[in-house]
Structure 1
């Protein structure tokens, strides 16, 4: 078993730990009444998108999400939540330094003693979800598991569905496809983006991701019998029929918790990497943290 595979399999356990720390998540991420910006890079940017949607749906305050390298211009926030597994990513550090005085800087990380510590007013350190792998899996899903609980989002099936997703057969043989499309709605759009990134990172394969309704606005044009269209959560009527009508194979399991569905997508990416003779523990051109020369 690769390190990445072992970390994927451990996710129900790290989620359970996060649920036991819900008060810490609530203090860092709920902040009722505050205007919040969530930032990240790569996987963490997709977590920021999902968290922002969850927070707004919970009704606790306006919440934006942005890539750390693309902060909204001219907007002020009470709190900026920076999601950074390593605590050393250059764009995160630059963004936090650029915030105006009076902005509360909250950092969600997996590591103590990194450069981001000096820039944080408050830290949520999830050392139990840290990873040896370059490709992130359990850290981002653990952040979202804790955030959902803190914001009162339904998650009653999470652990059960997660354990099932670790053990069950994959819903499709990824080697039968050369095109992967992931769709979501609401907070699961971020999960769709993350699933597509896992396929690119681990397996160097062609993957795309969109809000489900946007699939018909162009992306469907390239769907064929060699396409797998994977849908997170519930989607508007007609989306799966559109994909199937284009010849694609559709995977849609709305009864399974979306984070558990992401576990299956992570496993799919690893199996595709294996079928291509690739080592997901050593993805091409990638490092655990992007640290740029000053």
Structure 2
């Protein structure tokens, strides 16, 4: 065992001892969970695989070994020393991992997003005092004031959430924020110190690139917070402080409700830092928290228009190429919309900053290249209207995601999906829902495997 290096999870079965399994974990290769059932023991990559079968779980750390039989488990280290570990109680409801009346888990999880918002806000916002109250928060007012910068890291959909979080933190906490792809961050020899706050965004909390980046940040004495959905995941054990997304199990490979949950958690973090640093006044804080309170209902309204998405899918599903355009805080949402079309519809889609179109990509625009444009009534509205006019002038078909009540958009776009008016900082939470539903219905119409797309895994535990 001491000769093993690298990052790996190994489970061994001896054919002469079929009732005995040995599992070990080395490095950040992904999770290995030991599940305690009523009359059986389990080894699994993570908790969702064994929810409903177990009532307690233990997660193995680096260079730890578990030997299980039907009736019990022994823990040790690779060097042969014994080890005691305390099981955690499993709180996930098995019914949450069932499809219920929905055709696919992805659709179920999209429709659960208003509930996800409520769960993320519960016990974290004082709606009487109109302030954010993250329990036992990592930083004091003095420590928050002494921060010099923030680095937010993630991969895939979590990276897009991190980019939204950058704007939120910069605007409310008045701190410079960098966003890093975790796989690149670890090789860049980043400049970090005790005045740097590193925030990791994770669905599973087991993505190897994110875990190694977090470990590097910790080694360099940066303060470390994770926004994570899976309780007890490796990311939560590396971080000093965890903001749990509380979205419940997400079964579909393509992340939906954990994105919305992570964005609202990052918003709460930004507002908390703003409160501690004195950079957000009470009037603005009150207005934003009032909007937070109505956000689940607003999102529910966006999700209720199912037939409209089915009709749009019928008209657009035959296209093999899309552009998705956004500006400012909606640019990461444009990239997320493009990612969803790629992931589940197998469509080549590119997310672009709308202002970048005329610097090359506009050469690809014709009537066979639909353009989805996020055109909300914010500070960049006039710029976006100009950008989609350029697309239309080149015979491009424009499908707009616009603010409810915007009549002018009908002159520019062939099709329009509306979302309620909301503050710019909260707009990504509403704007992403139409993109998720559109990608879902296009994928269904194209006959794709929505919940388990080809070549993809829910948790990426290899580099």
Does residue 192 (structure 1) correspond to residue 334 (structure 2)? The answer is yes
Among 134, 140, 148, the alignment partner of 1:24 is 134
Q: Equivalent residue for 2:398?
A: 250
Count of residues in correspondence between the two structures: 293
Q: Equivalent residue for 1:56?
A: 170
Among 44, 68, 76, the alignment partner of 2:192 is 76
Q: Equivalent residue for 1:222?
A: 364
The SS at the match of 2:453 is coil
Deviating more after overlay: 11-20 vs 135-144: 11-20
Larger RCO, structure (CA 8 Å, separation 6 or more): 1
Does residue 12 (structure 1) correspond to residue 114 (structure 2)? The answer is yes
Considering only CA atoms, is the larger Rg found in Structure 1 or Structure 2?
2
Q: Equivalent residue for 2:179?
A: 65
Does residue 172 (structure 1) correspond to residue 312 (structure 2)? The answer is yes
Among 374, 385, 389, the alignment partner of 1:241 is 389
Does residue 158 (structure 1) correspond to residue 295 (structure 2)? The answer is yes
Deviating more after overlay: 130-139 vs 117-126: 117-126
5+ residue gaps, structure 1, are: none
State the Cα RMSD in Å. 2.5
The SS at the match of 2:160 is helix
CA 1:242–1:178 in structure 2 vs 1: closer, same or farther (change >3 Å)?
A: same
Deviating more after overlay: 170-179 vs 42-51: 170-179
5+ residue gaps, structure 2, are: 1-102, 126-132, 272-284, 404-418, 420-426
Deviating more after overlay: 25-34 vs 89-98: 25-34
8 A contact 1:80–1:106 mirrored in 2: yes
Q: 2 CA distance for matches of 1:26 and 1:272?
A: 44
Q: When the two structures are superposed, what TM-score results if normalisation uses the length of structure 1?
A: 0.90
Q: 1 CA distance for matches of 2:134 and 2:175?
A: 18
Among 214, 225, 232, the alignment partner of 1:106 is 225
Question: Which 4+ runs in 1 deviate beyond 4 A?
Answer: 25-33, 152-157
Q: Equivalent residue for 1:273?
A: 443
Q: 2 CA distance for matches of 1:32 and 1:249?
A: 48
CA 1:253–1:200 in structure 2 vs 1: closer, same or farther (change >3 Å)?
A: closer
Q: Equivalent residue for 1:138?
A: 257
Structure with a larger share of its residues in helix: 1
8 A contact 1:135–1:201 mirrored in 2: yes
Q: 2 CA distance for matches of 1:80 and 1:96?
A: 8
Q: 2 CA distance for matches of 1:127 and 1:254?
A: 29
Deviating more after overlay: 84-93 vs 154-163: 154-163
Q: When the two structures are superposed, what TM-score results if normalisation uses the length of structure 2?
A: 0.59
8 A contact 2:170–2:177 mirrored in 1: yes
Structure with a larger share of its residues in strand: 2
Q: Displacement of 1:50 after TM fit?
A: 1.0
Q: Displacement of 1:259 after TM fit?
A: 2.3
